[in-house]
């Protein structure tokens, strides 16, 4: 049983930050290296950074599976699309269709905002996530490189799904 809970308190932001710390270190250090992951966690996924993003229109949701907190998502309403900024599931819970259930929730959110597409960005070397997104109906629309400061760049593809 998957539950998706809107997150809007400091205690929840800390819980998301802890999940991010576990998932990002395990998943991204082999892809972009430890110094970039340290930097990105501090800049984007500390409890304070999450709170600030919520103030700026990002919505965060905690994912629980059989009452265990297993991941989180973040979305933002844009003019033409719903931006799926984050979707992360703990490695031991992947492949159980949790991502698929969550994507149905995201699609419903897009429709409720009268938006016709969902867009996301994914690291070009994040092969498993790219495969999962393709299975979930997303199409690669090309490269997007973003300078995130301190000499680091995000080397991403943008992927889009029409809903
Ligand atoms: C990407 C992620 C959120 C997907 O969630 P998940 O719960 O593992 O995905 P699901 O089990 O719901 O699978 C969804 C679909 O993708 C497919 N899929 C998932 N992982 C796959 C892989 N490595 N290779 C091929 N297909 C894959 C599943 O088979 C399923 O398709 P189907 O229903 O047609 O069989 C999760 O794997 C994750 O957190 N990955 C690591 C962090 C990450 O990279 N996040 C994205 C950052 S942009």
Give the percent of the chain with pLDDT over 90.
Answer: 99
106-150 per-position pLDDT tens digit: 999 999 999 999 999 999 999 999 999 999 999 999 999 999 999
pLDDT of residue 146: 94
Residue of minimum CA distance from atom 28 in ligand 1: 132
pLDDT at 128: 96
pLDDT score for 155: 96
CA atoms within 13 A on the CB side of 43: 11
Best residue for ligand 1 mutational test, from 40, 68, 94 (most atoms within 8 Å of Cβ) = 94
Task: Give pLDDT tens digits for 69-100.
Answer: 999 999 999 999 999 999 999 999 999 999 99
Q: What kind and span of H or E run contains 69?
A: strand 68-77
H or E element, residue 13: helix 10-32
Domains in the chain with CATH codes:
2-162 (3.40.630.30)
Q: Are 44 and 146 in contact (CB under 8 A)?
A: no
């Amino acid at each position: 049983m998957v539950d998706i809970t809107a997150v809007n308190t400091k205690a929840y932001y800390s819980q998301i930050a802890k999940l991010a710390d576990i998932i990002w270190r395990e998943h991204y250090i082999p892809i972009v290296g430890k110094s970039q992951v340290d930097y990105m966690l501090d800049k984007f996924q500390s409890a304070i950074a999450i709170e600030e993003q919520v103030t700026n229109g990002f919505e965060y949701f905690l994912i629980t599976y059989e009452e265990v907190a297993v991941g989180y998502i973040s979305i933002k309403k844009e003019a033409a699309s719903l931006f799926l900024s984050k979707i992360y599931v703990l490695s031991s819970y992947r492949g159980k269709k949790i991502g698929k259930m969550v994507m149905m929730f995201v699609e419903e959110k897009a429709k409720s905002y009268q938006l016709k597409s969902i867009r996301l960005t994914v690291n070009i070397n994040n092969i498993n996530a790219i495969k999962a997104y393709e299975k979930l109906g997303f199409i690669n629309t090309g490269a997007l490189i973003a300078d995130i400061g301190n000499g680091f760049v995000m080397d991403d593809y943008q992927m889009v799904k029409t809903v």
